[in-house]
Chain A
Amino acid sequence: NAGVTQTPKFQVLKTGQSMTLQCAQDMNHEYMSWYRQDPGMGLRLIHYSVGAGITDQGEVPNGYNVSRSTTEDFPLRLLSAAPSQTSVYFCASGLTLHYRELFFGEGSRLTVL
């Protein structure tokens, strides 16, 4: 049981490049989400999903795309990276029914030059 797996752990991009952060979970969780963590700020929700084919925007969605074609995977796409997207990104998953704990990936540190 691997939990929540995020890749890559580190990435450096140039402005305008595109990339995808991968997130996979093997716990059959309906809820998956992406957050960014910046110094002095709490984690902020980018996008989330409550099941395959269902996604919704969070607090800071601009510049990011997501899709959920399977229960296990929830990739985050940066189509044209900007320096303002330099951050640490976390994927989290959980069950939607009732109240359950959140499970986090180990984080991905992204630097956009």
Chain B
Amino acid sequence: KNEVEQSPQNLTAQEGEFITINCSYSVGISALHWLQQHPGGGIVSLFMLSSGKKKHGRLIATINIQEKHSSLHITASHPRDSAVYICAVRSGDSGTYKYIFGTGTRLKVLA
């Protein structure tokens, strides 16, 4: 079993829909990242969370440390949101620098 599991693996939505991508992890962490990988391959950081909730534009990320679970929400989805979304955890305490990545959720938003 992978230490970082994402669901769903693939997701197709209509423009305007509310989207949720889930990430569960089985290790102790000091931080969790949500990343976006564009069809061209580049990876950009969306959020870094250690607790609670963060919002940036139409994107919202939450984390529940007790349940070892995080969600990424996209409100009013748009075709330009089509990408692979990757959850990554920084395992261990703040003195470690090893990241474990999920396999990603491939999102396609149709116009």
- Which A residues contact B (CB, under 8 angstroms)? 31, 33, 35, 40-45, 48, 50, 58-59, 88, 90, 92, 96, 98-104, 106-107
Q: Which of B30, B44, B102 contacts A104 (CB 8 A)?
A: B44
A55 to B: closest C-beta gap in Å: 11
Contact status B97-A101, CB under 8 Å = no
**Chain A neighbourhood of B98, CB < 8 A:** 45, 48, 58-59
Closest residue on chain A to residue B101 by CB atoms: A42
Contact status A31-B41, CB under 8 Å = no
- Which B residues contact A (CB, under 8 angstroms)? 2, 4, 30-31, 33, 35, 41-45, 48, 50, 86, 88, 90, 94, 97-104
Q: Given A99-B50, A101-B33, A101-B48, A106 and B41 touching (CB < 8 A)?
A: yes
B94 to A: closest C-beta gap in Å: 8
Contact status B43-A104, CB under 8 Å = yes
Contact status B4-A42, CB under 8 Å = yes
Contact status B99-A45, CB under 8 Å = yes
Contact status A43-B30, CB under 8 Å = no
The complex places the Cα of A101 from the Cα of B50 at a distance, in Å, of 12
Q: Which of B31, B42, B102, B104 contacts A107 (CB 8 A)?
A: B42
